[in-house]
Structure 1
């Protein structure tokens, strides 16, 4: 995983630079509709501003978790409903499921993007929702040729919805997912993606064993 100072560092819940704008979706409104103990996992959360803002509004039994490779750059008091984890999302896994999982412009800096998406699908509550930005152009075969179309097809087969216009993946409901790709490694010097920021290219081979299952 490659850290970039233009990642999801300062984004809040609402406004110009916000989760609501980037996701076309209001996380707080979604969580507020949950019957009890709403839970939100934010991958590549940066400073965790959106989580802090949600914690000030959601009930005391809410569970909010943010994971980021760098974590907050300045110490900020953390409310009891919020846990900020400094770890690589590629090697971290939760011990519970979540009503909402988000990854706002975070996959662009992750090596095994498809592996993280498959893992996150299993971290959802039975009726949970996952939203993540995804750039198919960053998925490559071993020789560097484009593998994005094959990746999107596999993700859709697994139940994900993909909006090319917004570069967003959506998944409703937990599931065990095995995508037909074998991760080889990543190129952190692939250059800017559609956001204009430097991003990672993830390289894969077809996984014939998974594809035949």
Structure 2
């Protein structure tokens, strides 16, 4: 069997699977195709009682949901980060869009809410991003994202599976296997027992039906 060639994140970012402008292009704040449905809660409801709060959305796509939320959250700072700068022009001064890789970008301050709706499917070092995000939260902040554990593999190609779930929970993360959703409450300093080896951008579709990235780690 031919050995699989794994890509480093810089090369991965150039692949057509990762560098696309379709992700979250039409997804809004509420409704059938929305952040509220995918996350299991409405970000506006969470942030409404925090007038000087900050929300970071990773892999934000066009940012429609962020712009919709901005009009309902006066005083809340909102940042959307995406590898492809296909953003809807922001009519609201409270929203900032950043064209950058989520594995390299560094935040200017801590956030009360960090979300990533179906974005981790296209990230190489998924566990590295989780560790970073944990340190970017405020003390009582919240993180929520879609995470498909089937896309995280050990060096021999076998699924990381239950051992990974146990490792995540040991670091304070919650994981809902049925909804494929990962979450965290409050800032944490996370130490992963896994070493990132690279990613496969030709793994094919995941459970969403869209092509996704398979990430490989040594444990």
Q: TM-score, normalised by structure 1?
A: 0.91
Provide the rounded CA distance (Å) in 2 between the counterparts of 1:185 and 1:53: 36
Tell me how large the CA RMSD over aligned residues is: 1.2
* Deviation string, structure 1 residues 58-106 (Cα, Å, up to 9, x no partner): 11x2110000001225x51442111100001011110210000000000
Matched residue, 1:211: none
Q: Does 1:85 align with 2:101?
A: no
Q: Does 1:52 align with 2:67?
A: yes
Structure of higher RCO (CA pairs closer than 8 Å, 6+ residues apart): 2
Q: Are the counterparts in 2 of residues 192 and 199 from structure 1 also a CA contact under 8 Å?
A: yes
Matched residue, 2:136: 123
Runs of at least 5 residues in structure 1 that lack an aligned partner in the other structure: 207-213
Give SS of 1:52's match: helix
**Residue 109 of structure 1: which of 122, 126, 135 is its match?**
122
Instruction: For residue 180 of structure 1, report the CA deviation from its aligned partner.
Output: 0.5
Structure showing the higher strand proportion among its residues: 1
Structure 1 stretch displaced more, 138-147 or 115-124: 138-147
Instruction: For residue 182 of structure 1, report the CA deviation from its aligned partner.
Output: 0.5
Matched residue, 2:10: none
* Deviation string, structure 1 residues 134-176 (Cα, Å, up to 9, x no partner): 0110011112111132222111110111001111011000011
Q: Runs of 4+ in structure 1 displaced over 4 angstroms?
A: none
Instruction: For residue 200 of structure 1, report the CA deviation from its aligned partner.
Output: 0.4
Matched residue, 2:79: 65
Provide the rounded CA distance (Å) in 2 between the counterparts of 1:43 and 1:11: 14
Q: TM-score, normalised by structure 2?
A: 0.89
